[in-house]
């Protein structure tokens, strides 16, 4: 039976979790990067298509390949993060349908526009699951859209139909540099119950 997780866990994932741009000099293990994926693969996607693909950029060499494609204001925070995940979308996701959902006919996704919309929606959800999982495992995150998608795709996904969506720096954040937290919309501003 499901039960609510405790307040401390909710603080870790949501209320006290911040976007980090400065990092402690502390590595993240491959085991924890793998643990993130081991959680998010269970979270829902449309028809279980699971279109997210993730490259964890960890080595100095790989970071240097990423660097020229970053917007200037994202360079230092990315180069100093222990890892940077490239959250991407595989437009060729139907090839895995025999494993993921044998009841779905891959021909349903023949139309390129609807395939792209479907893939982008679920892969973006998986990106959000990614942030939540990383925080749940004790990491700090710094998501970023300030980079050149085409350049990253050429460098990391050449010859595939995988397209970058956003980047997420990972590591142990340095809270000394946090900006004051910005307001959020109230329930009434953002929601209604009908
Ligand atoms: C999709 C996305 C793209 C973002 N792009 C950038 C970026 O390029 N550079 C940056 O410094 N922060 C970026 N941010 C960080 C947001 O500005 C930040 O998460 C938001 O203001 C909330 O901050 P808080 O988590 O500290 O409350 C991005 C966040 C998201 C979710």
**Contact in structure between 89 and 52 (CB atoms under 8 Å):** yes
Instruction: Give the strand order in the sheet containing 52-57.
Output: 52-57, 83-90, 162-171, 140-144
Backbone angles phi, psi at 36, to 5 degrees: -60, -50
Q: Name the residue of 144, 147, 149, 181 whose CB sits within 8 Å of the most ligand 1 atoms, as the mutation to test its pocket.
A: 144
Tell me the whole-structure pTM to 2 decimals. 0.98
As a whole number, mean pLDDT of residues 141-158 equals 98
Ligand 1 center to 142 CA (angstroms): 7
Contact 19 CB / ligand 1 (< 6 Å): yes
Q: Is 116 helix (H, G, I), strand (E, B) or coil?
A: helix
Over the stretch 89-135, which tens digit does the pLDDT of each residue have?
999 999 999 999 999 988 889 999 999 999 999 999 999 999 999 99
> What is the rounded distance in angstroms from the CA atom of residue 85 to the CA atom of residue 112?
26
Kindly report the average pLDDT of the chain as a whole number.
97
């Amino acid at each position: 039976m499901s039960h609510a997780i405790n307040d401390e866990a909710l603080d870790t994932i949501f209320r006290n979790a911040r976007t980090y741009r400065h990092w402690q000099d502390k590595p993240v293990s491959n085991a924890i990067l793998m643990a993130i994926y081991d959680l998010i693969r269970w979270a829902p996607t449309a028809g279980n298509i699971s279109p997210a693909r993730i490259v964890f950029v960890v080595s100095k060499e790989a970071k240097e390949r990423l660097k020229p494609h970053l917007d200037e204001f994202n360079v230092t925070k990315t180069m100093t993060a222990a890892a940077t995940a490239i959250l991407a979308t595989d437009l060729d996701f139907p090839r895995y349908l025999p494993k993921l959902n044998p009841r779905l006919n891959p021909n349903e996704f023949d139309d390129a526009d609807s395939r792209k919309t479907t893939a982008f929606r679920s892969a973006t959800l998986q990106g959000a699951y990614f942030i939540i999982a990383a925080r749940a495992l004790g990491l700090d995150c710094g998501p970023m859209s300030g980079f050149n998608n085409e350049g990253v795709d050429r460098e990391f996904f050449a010859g595939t139909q995988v397209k970058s969506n956003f980047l997420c720096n990972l590591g142990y954040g340095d809270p000394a540099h946090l900006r004051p937290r910005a307001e959020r919309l109230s329930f009434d501003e953002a929601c209604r119950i009908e």
